[in-house]
Structure 1
Amino acid sequence: MSVFVLGCHRSGTSLLATILRRAILGDKDSSRLGPDIPRSADNKHGHAESESLMLLNEHLLSIAGASWHQPYLLRPDWEEKDTLAHLSSLRSRLDYHLSTQQWIDKDPRLCLTRDAVAHILLTDIPAIAILRHPVEVAQSLYLRNGFAPAKSLLIWLLYNYHLYNCSSSLPHYTLLHADLVSTDLEHRNSCSVLLEDFLQQTFPQNSTSLSSQISACLDRGLLHCNAGSTHQLGLDAATTQFFNALWQDIGTEVRQHQGRALATAFSAALPQGLSHLLPGQRTPVYGHHIAHQRECLERRLQQTENALHTTQIKAQDLEQTLQGMRSSRLYRLSQAGRRLWRRLWRPRVGADHS
């Protein structure tokens, strides 16, 4: 079996992917998927993310006129004919994934590209997701990339909205970053139980003593994703209150119902979140993405209209041909012959049977 780890940037996906890899593969590296992204100052223990998957997702986002830090608002139509043909041509980029039976990989960009990757791999890979408080994600993105608070919160909101509203199956389980790194053993143990259950479903042949392996991984100093920063983002009170209330609802939903209603929660929060983050004249921040999506839709509409016009012309030509055939002398003679046959032949056939 294979597994994708999903979640927004700076949400603990590297931590979770490392835990799962060590629980299943022990201390083996991920060479079976090709080289991983090199370690960096912000992820000293490694990203647990294959370079081939990351580069593919960057290409897919560029097709949609987006990037990892400027996600699209409107989901691309990955099932459009020309797009599907292009996705098929990209299959060789994931040769390691296609030729290996057992692997665990992650890339936050999968929140946006998972439907396209499913077309490339010809299967819907089982997934597990991790969520982190939006303000903590914004703090971490500020420290690593220098992003403004509104931009960071937009990334968090759009990533998680698309994660739970894509065409692919929902994640089997959703974890909270705060519970995974918590010093409260009850929260840590609840995460261990969920992870053990998930691994037993996806890797049944490796289902022995997983809880102890997971606990050992959690104690190996992998908490580098915990921001631990008191940097003040300077958000206005209304925006802060909105995201704190949203996170409280999400945390309750995850802990009580395992996130079954998160698609609805993020769909309902998206318009209000955008109004907080992009008020008035600030909407052009994503204006070029909206324009790109509009161009794609207008191009597809024009193609459809052209195809309809061509079909109408062909139908008119066929109608004219049919009318010409009906007005021809041969057609009239054939029709007269049929009427004569009905009058002369059918009564004889009935008489013979009698």
Structure 2
Amino acid sequence: MNDTKTAICVLGMHRSGTSSITKGIHEIGAYIGAYSTLVPPDGDNPRGFWEHQKIVNLHDEALQGMGLNWATATHVSESWLNEASARHVRDQLRDVVMQEFAEQDLWVWKDPRTCLFVPMWQSILTSLNITTKYVIVIRNPLDVAQSLLRRNGFSRQKSFALWLNYTLSSLRTTHGETRVVVEYDDYMKDWESSLQQIASALNMTWPKDNDALQARMKAFINPALQHSRSNPDEAIQTIEMSLVRELYGLCRKAIQDPGLLQDDEFIATIDRMDREYKFMFAMFSSHLDGFTMECSYHGTQNGKAQVQGPIDDEFHEYIIEMPSAVGNQVSIFPTTFPGMFEISELAIQERSTDGTYDEVYTLTPAKLAQLPSTALSMRFPDGGLKFLNLSGQAQFNIPYSFTERGDYALRVVMKVYRQDHPVYVNVVRQALPVYDAQVRRGTSA
């Protein structure tokens, strides 16, 4: 195999138009494989996916081996590449390339899952002396979310998480490579200009028979199949998740000014966003409407009691019953997943003979802020207690000794922030340097 072999890798989130753009790249000269090897069209993509079936299957096999699927908001760890399962998938993908594409001077493949496996593909193609160039396809995140809602019933929160994971992975792993960013909406409005932009950036030769190309593309492009079309400028203003809004805006700038892709500031910004996303991904990917709070106490049962609550940025009162409590320790596990929560009131109550509860111990807001905790806590001027729960295992203890056996209850007034709340986002950014320091020391979960 000589140095003239080139592969074009099309990256982009599911439902972002990668199929249509890959077909366009094929039409201007890149081999896509025998049609019999491609995923057949269906109701979701009546004009075809333009994906190699074996590649899709192997990507799915790799994800399943990690307990994941295509709808993962979890980064694929690069350390996975050293595992036996990864080597098996890598060898199988290498065989596909050798059997299907080895004799082609220029070929293209796409599967959105590739976004999660770029380092593996880079090692494969480098070993075969194949130059790889990248087309990163961006679609308005609102439209991606709307499409996934129709097809899969995904919440907007989950779709935004997937969009972030796929887009950040694509941009981070292609630093320093030949690449171009295009937007699906632009392609649907003027496919020829978008393909010319791709051809110019990747040094592709434009077909000599432009009339034949025009006829084929006009027969293929069907704007009626683009069901969701939001205004990009409005989207940047209305997307409630700030990291999504920021990344989409940055991608649009890179489309207008391709030189930004090689700019040190652009690369540093993507790295910073990627670290923020890794820091928050468990909250993003939980897709929860509610949470569980646990209370551990010493008593005849020496057990745990639980209550459930909503994630809605509102304060709610929770009563956790502790029958037959005794001893000198009450431990609270406020949330069972990484996130941001705030406690404004906390008290221990004892059941009276008439069945009602009387407060026997109350923590003032000032004392709340002094409670020792296994979470990363931050003090705020309103006197309440806000916690950024890094690992989902936050715990703090209430310094109260039960003087006699009885039936007690813990009263907590608390709210849990959605990950798109401005307070949550700001606290995460303040905490990120602390978290990075913990990672470097090897003390972070």
TM-score by length of 1: 0.64
Corresponding residue number in structure 2 for 1:126: 133
Secondary structure class of the residue paired with 2:39: coil
Correspondence for 1:45 among 47, 69, 86 = 47
Work out whether residues 12 and 177 of structure 1, in 8 Å CA contact, stay in contact via their aligned partners in 2.
Answer: yes
CA root-mean-square deviation: 4.0
In the other structure, the counterpart of 1:175 is 182
Change (3 A) 1:271 1:278: farther
Q: How many residues align?
A: 275
CA contact under 8 A between 1:4 and 1:125: conserved in structure 2? yes
Separation in 1, partners of 2:246, 2:215? 31
What does residue 15 of structure 1 align with? 20
- Determine the structure 1 residue equivalent to 2:194: 191
Change in 2 beyond 3 A, CA 1:269/1:100: same
> Is residue 2:212 matched to residue 1:228?
no
2:350 maps to: none
1:45-99 per-position Cα deviation (integer Å, ceiling 9, x unaligned):
1011110111111122234442210142352325527466435542334443343
Distance of aligned partners of 1:120 and 1:193 in 2 relative to their CA distance in 1, 3 Å threshold: closer
Q: Tell me the alpha carbon deviations over residues 178-228 of structure 1, each in whole angstroms, 9 at most, x when there is no partner.
A: 21122xx6xx564243133246x24x4x65356983686256434466233
Change (3 A) 1:159 1:242: closer
TM-superposed CA distance for 1:250, in Å, is 2.4
Alignment equivalent of 2:99, drawn from 96, 121, 134: 96
How far apart in 2 are the matches of 1:196 and 1:211?
17
Residues in 2 aligned to 1:238 and 1:246: alpha-carbon distance in whole angstroms: 11
Question: Structure 1 residues 166 and 272 mapped into 2: Cα distance closer, same or farther (>3 Å)?
Answer: closer
Please say if residues 161 and 284 of structure 2, whose CA atoms lie closer than 8 Å, have aligned partners that are also in contact. Answer: yes
- Written as runs of structure 1 = structure 2, the 5 A alignment for 1:38-187 is 38-73=40-75, 75-80=77-82, 82=84, 85-87=87-89, 89-90=91-92, 91-101=94-104, 102-121=106-125, 122=127, 123=130, 125-166=132-173, 170=177, 172-182=179-189
Q: Following superposition of structure 1 onto structure 2, how do residues 247-286 of structure 1 map, counting pairs within 5 Å?
A: 247-257=248-258, 260=261, 263-270=267-274, 274=280, 277=284, 281=335, 283=337
Once residues 90 and 215 of structure 2 are traced to their aligned partners in structure 1, the CA distance between those partners, rounded to angstroms, is 40
Call closer, same or farther: CA 1:219–1:267 in 2, change over 3 Å: farther
- Whether the 8 Å contact between 2:15 and 2:144 is mirrored in structure 1 is yes
> 1:344 aligns to what?
none
- Seen in structure 2, the aligned counterparts of structure 1 residues 213 and 60 have a Cα distance that, compared at 3 Å, is same
Structure 1 Cα separation of the partners of residues 217 and 257 of structure 2: 25
Alignment partner, residue 334 of structure 1: none
Using the alignment, how far apart are the partners of 1:74 and 1:112 within structure 2? 6
Deviations 1:275-309 (A, max 9, x none): 88469858479xxxx9xxxxxxxxxx9xxxxxxxx
CA gap 1:132/1:282 in 2 versus in 1, 3 angstroms: farther
CA contact (8 A) 2:76 2:117 kept: no
Contact 1:128 1:173 in 2 (8 A): yes
Return 5+ residue gaps in structure 2 as ranges: 1-5, 231-237, 287-310, 312-334, 340-391, 393-441
The 2-side partners of 1:210 and 1:181 are apart by: 18
- 1:194-213 equivalences under 5 Å are 194-198=197-201, 201-202=203-204, 204=205, 207-208=207-208, 213=213
Q: In the aligned structure 2, how far is the partner of 1:228 from the partner of 1:241?
A: 21
SS at 2:132 equivalent: coil
* 1:155 Cα deviation from its structure 2 partner: 0.6
CA distance in 2, matches of 1:85, 1:160: 25
Distance 1:254 1:265, change over 3 A: farther
Query: Is the Cα contact below 8 Å between 2:59 and 2:113 reproduced in 1?
Result: yes
SS in 2 for 1:3: strand
Contact 1:142 1:149 in 2 (8 A): yes
What SS does the aligned partner of 1:109 have?
Answer: helix
Decide whether aligned partners of structure 1 residues 74 and 41 sit closer, same or farther in structure 2, where only a CA change above 3 A counts.
Answer: closer
CA contact (8 A) 1:181 1:223 kept: yes
Cα pair 2:47 2:220 within 8 Å, conserved: no
- C-alpha separation in 2, matches of 1:167 and 1:125: 10
Identity level (%)? 19
1: CA distance, partners of 2:141 / 2:336: 20
Counterparts of residues 234-245 of structure 1 (less than 5 Å): 239-240=240-241, 243-245=244-246
The answer as to whether partners of 1:150 and 1:277 remain within 8 angstroms in 2 is yes
SS at match of 1:126: strand
Please give the alpha-carbon distance, in whole angstroms, between the structure 1 residues aligned to 2:216 and 2:90. 41
Q: 1:108-162 deviations in whole A, cap 9, x for unaligned?
A: 0111112112333434522211101111111111111111111111110000111
* CA 282–97 in structure 1, closer or farther in 2 if over 3 Å, else same: farther
Q: Is the 8 A contact 2:12 2:18 kept in 1?
A: yes
Distance 1:189 1:282 in 2: 51
- Contact 1:78 1:116 (C-alpha < 8 Å) held by counterparts: no
Deviation digits for residues 16-35 of structure 1 (CA, Å, limit 9, x no counterpart)? 0111112226xx98417x52
TM-score with structure 2 setting the length: 0.52
Name the structure, 1 or 2, with higher relative contact order (CA <8 Å, separation 6+). 1
Normalized per residue, which structure has more helix?
1
1-structure distance, mates of 2:91, 2:63: 16
* 1:263–1:97 distance in 2 versus 1, CA, 3 Å: farther
CA contact (8 A) 1:115 1:168 kept: no
The 3 A distance-change label for structure 1 pair 2 and 270 is closer
SS of residue paired to 1:247 = helix
Counterpart position of 2:29:
24
